[in-house]
Amino acid sequence: MCPGVVIVMSWKDVDKGWGDQAKVWASIMEPRWWPEFDAVLRATDVGEATQYLDIACGSGLMVNMASRRGAQAHGLDASDRLLALARRRTPTADIQHGDMNDLPWEEGTFDVATSCRGIWGPNQDAVHEAARVLKPGGCLGLSFFAAGRESNQIGKAFHAIRRVSEHEIEWSQQLGQIGQTGRAEEMCETAGLIPGERQSLEFDLEGADIEHEVKAWMSAGPAWMAIQERGAEDVEHSLRTELAELEEEGIGVRTQVIIEFVVAQKPS
């Protein structure tokens, strides 16, 4: 591939990357992000009867957590196979297959919308859509990796994937821009929202052992693209080598991650 050329998938192709390992994502990768989901749901005050939407909801753990808090929960994602799990988890929720840049809800529908690592640097249109479907006075909770993730432990997994995939080198730089100082806030302001102060949280992704850890990362979209370029064996080998350093005897593999988020309000 030519340097600087990034293949941007149509939303209709997203399921190819995210759906292949949907069961693995839902059972061993997604649950490890619960501290982020919990923090964003609390910061946006999701509770009894909140009209709530999770954008790029994946297999729907956050939708389920919102529903348990009493919210009228809705979710949207482009991967049908992840959504099958989301629907199974929370049958009472309204879960839609679609594109975050063209949400299938009326203007002013929701009190709260969230997106956890679903809206990235190039996705300004998705922030506009989130703002459109919020009620006046409603808020968007947007979470993402803190800038400089390359130097954090989580960066090891991304590094392992990037060193076998030219596509991921370019693409992950563009995605990660949302973490840069002021960038997420600027995206919210451009969409007419008023961002509050950026918040940060730190936790460990927990893996039972290195095989568990490799399996978890192999279920993520970025690994899929690398697998298309280099084959599963190379990607697995790269992940195993990089992440082995994080294994602790009797503890398992613990990977520190720093997440930041902003809560931005739609003017009343």
Ligand X SMILES: C[S@@+](CC[C@H](N)C(=O)[O-])C[C@H]1O[C@@H](n2cnc3c(N)ncnc32)[C@H](O)[C@@H]1O
Say whether residue 172 binds ligand X (CB under 6 A). no
User: Residue from 21, 33, 134, 170 that binds ligand X (CB under 6 A)?
Assistant: 33
| Residue closer to ligand X, measured from CB, 99 or 213 | 99
Q: Which of 32, 47, 2, 6 is nearest to 173 (CA)?
A: 6
Binding positions for ligand X, 223-252, rule CB under 6 A: none
Least Å distance, CB 20 to ligand X, is 11
Q: Which of 80, 76, 83, 122 is nearest to 102 (CA)?
A: 76
| Residue closer to ligand X, measured from CB, 77 or 111 | 77
Least Å distance, CB 180 to ligand X, is 18
Say whether residue 195 binds ligand X (CB under 6 A). no
Say whether residue 53 binds ligand X (CB under 6 A). no
Binding positions for ligand X, 97-126, rule CB under 6 A: 99-100, 116-118
CA distance 83 to 15: 10
Stretch that binds ligand X, among 76-84, 168-176, 235-243, 247-255 (CB under 6 A): 76-84
| Residue closer to ligand X, measured from CB, 58 or 207 | 58
Exposure class string for 135-153: b at 16+ Cβ within 10 A, else e: eeebbbbbbbbbbebeebb
Q: Which of 132, 162, 127, 125 is nearest to 142 (CA)?
A: 127
| Residue closer to ligand X, measured from CB, 173 or 251 | 173
C-alpha dihedral, 16 to 147 to 217 to 10, nearest 10°: 0
Length of the chain: 268
Exposure class string for 115-124: b at 16+ Cβ within 10 A, else e: bbbbbbbebe
User: Residue from 50, 64, 67, 79 that binds ligand X (CB under 6 A)?
Assistant: 79
Least Å distance, CB 250 to ligand X, is 29
Contact criterion met (CB below 8 Å) for 183 and 177? yes
Contact criterion met (CB below 8 Å) for 140 and 264? yes
Say whether residue 257 binds ligand X (CB under 6 A). no
# binding residues, ligand X (CB under 6 A): 17
| Residue closer to ligand X, measured from CB, 43 or 57 | 57
| Residue closer to ligand X, measured from CB, 125 or 186 | 125
Least Å distance, CB 115 to ligand X, is 7
Contact criterion met (CB below 8 Å) for 106 and 51? no
What residues line the site for ligand X (CB under 6 A)?
11, 14, 18, 30, 33, 56-58, 77-79, 82, 99-100, 116-118
